[in-house]
Amino acid sequence: MKVFLLTAVTMVAFASNSVLGRVGLIDGETGPIAFAAIRIAAGALMLSVLMTLRGQSQRRSVEARAKGAGSLLLYVLAFSLAYVTLPAGLGALILFGVVQLTMFAGALYTREVIPLARWLGMAMAFGGLVLLLWPSGGGAPDLVGSLLMAVSGIGWGLYSLFGRGQSDPLGATAGNFLWTVPATLLAWALVQDGVTPMGAVWAIISGAITSALGYALWYTVLPQLKSTSAAVAQLTVPVIATAGGVLFLGEDLTLRFMIATLIVLGGIAVALTASAKRA
């Protein structure tokens, strides 16, 4: 029960990033680059505090830091830019689907032996995303925002691939956040985005709590979960984000979105379960 509750809290934290990103940018007065910069800085500070309290090191190669920080930067900037126009749940679905497709492409690149069920699951998920993003028909999302969220998903997928096998995942995450701070602050200075006090508050909560503490909690729970359980648990993130968008932002649910959600998450569930059973 303890592991279940901690996993549920972690998934809510991950989904909350989408809701916080949308609520922080919805008034149009806080710019997306400002939101991203504050989020990364708050996350870096919180992770540094956690590292200090635990007495952990952040020793990694320069090459590994560059890859991790670069993919994290791509994720966080595109994420904020996308949520200028996208609803919370829709953005989370695109993000989650593209992350899984990116990691699938990584498996192809490294010539992993991929079972047929995983091919079918990924094809199903890709078909669901095509249905969701098809530019004609009722409920079609904003194209620019959707493409930006897809780029964000690629960034997070690469970040996940680069981080596989880390002996100190929390230390690696803290180092990557610290390396990303100067780039996001520079981007903010160049763009000169405005920021409201509440926009800054939402960004700080997203960075320090739902990102930094969420990652720390996930790394604590993950060793206690079977690989299948960990994979399936993450399927709840877009659903929770959608519920948050409806409850707190008054977002509408379209038939197209609901059908696409079932197809994408169903396909990913098939692929992840097949991979976990093979492992």
Asked if the model's pLDDT at residue 226 lies above 70, the reply is: no
Question: Which distant-in-sequence residues (6+ apart) come within 8 Å of 197 by Cβ?
Answer: none
Question: Which distant-in-sequence residues (6+ apart) come within 8 Å of 91 by Cβ?
Answer: 18, 21, 22, 79, 82, 83, 145, 149, 241
d(CA 49, CA 199): 23
Res. 123 pLDDT band, cuts 50 70 90: very high
What mean pLDDT is predicted for residues 191-200? 95
Asked if the model's pLDDT at residue 58 lies above 60, the reply is: no
The pLDDT value recorded for residue 277 is 59
Q: DSSP state, 114?
A: -
d(CA 125, CA 270): 9
Question: Which distant-in-sequence residues (6+ apart) come within 8 Å of 113 by Cβ?
Answer: none
Res. 68 pLDDT band, cuts 50 70 90: confident
- Mean per-residue pLDDT over the chain, rounded: 87
Q: Which of 238, 229, 89, 74 is nearest to 161 (CA)?
A: 74
Portion of the chain with pLDDT greater than 90, in percent: 48
Asked if the model's pLDDT at residue 52 lies above 80, the reply is: yes
d(CA 30, CA 176): 25
Question: Which distant-in-sequence residues (6+ apart) come within 8 Å of 278 by Cβ?
Answer: 115
What mean pLDDT is predicted for residues 217-228? 73
Extents of the domains making up the chain: 2-278
d(CA 123, CA 117): 10
The whole-model pTM stands at 0.87
